[in-house]
Amino acid sequence: MSTSTSYSPKAEEIKSLREQTAAPMMDCRKALIEAAGDFEKAKTVLIERGAAQAQKKAERSANEGLVSSYIHAGGKIGVLVEVNSETDFVARSPKFAELTRDIALHIAGMAPQYVDRAAVPQSVVDEAKNEFRESAPAGKPPEVLEKIVEGKLNKWFEERVLLDQPFVKDDSLSVGDMINAAIGSLGENIRVRRFTRFALGEN
């Protein structure tokens, strides 16, 4: 049985992991070695590292970036999204441009209503919670009821909040995971500031 110290990943494995996570080649190689060749475990390692780096960089100012657009379905759906970075250098990189295009494409396909959970008005969250409590099976102990409500609320966020939604091109990642991987790769704080989605005939 292979161990993490003896396993040597193949070039195509590293390339495939890089394509799915946007992490640097050396980071992909290290993650595969650490995971002893288990691709999904290596992917999880990279996502967790990206999230840790994102948390460290979250307070850093991000005032550069790009406004990206995506037009879909013969001109019937259009998206504008502003994605911020810390420097113009990163904003002009091909990897950042690809990230913004992927986010715009995702918004076109999945129609999120909010950027992140903090953007959801508390009154809307409270209303959803009340609905979940009312629809829960009767007679549940309070602690069980709250776990049911929490689980349904998380699912509710996944359906409406951009960063929580499974990424349209790879549903094993959330959009937030994808952005965290880009933060780990590009070394800067990256955030989606705002977006607008237009659908022909919709208000």
Average pLDDT over residues 33-49: 81
Task: Copy the structure tokens of residue 100.
Answer: 């913004």
Residue 104: per-residue pLDDT: 97
> Who has greater pLDDT, 128 or 44?
128
The long-range contacts involving 129-134, CB below 8 angstroms and separated by at least 24 positions, are 129/153, 132/156
Residue 94: per-residue pLDDT: 93
> Who has greater pLDDT, 136 or 160?
160
Is the per-residue pLDDT at 175 higher than 90?
yes
pLDDT tens, residue by residue, 104-113: 999 999 999 9
Residue 174: per-residue pLDDT: 93
Residue 39: per-residue pLDDT: 86
Is the per-residue pLDDT at 54 higher than 60?
no
Average pLDDT over residues 162-183: 92
Task: Copy the structure tokens of residue 22.
Answer: 């946007």
Average pLDDT over residues 144-167: 94
HEC string of the chain equals CCCCCCCCCCHHHHHHHHHHHCCCHHHHHHHHHHCCCCHHHHHHHHHHHHHHHHHHHCCCCCCEEEEEEEEECCCCEEEEEEEEECCHHHHCCHHHHHHHHHHHHHHHHHCCCECCHHHCCHHHHHHHHHHHHHHCCCCCCHHHHHHHHHHHHHHHHHHHEHHHCEECCEEEEEHHHHHHHHHHHHCCCCEEEEEEEEECCCC
109, exposed or middle or buried, with CB in 10 Å at 0-12, 13-18, 19+? middle
- Mean pLDDT is lowest, of 47-61, 117-131, 133-147, for 47-61
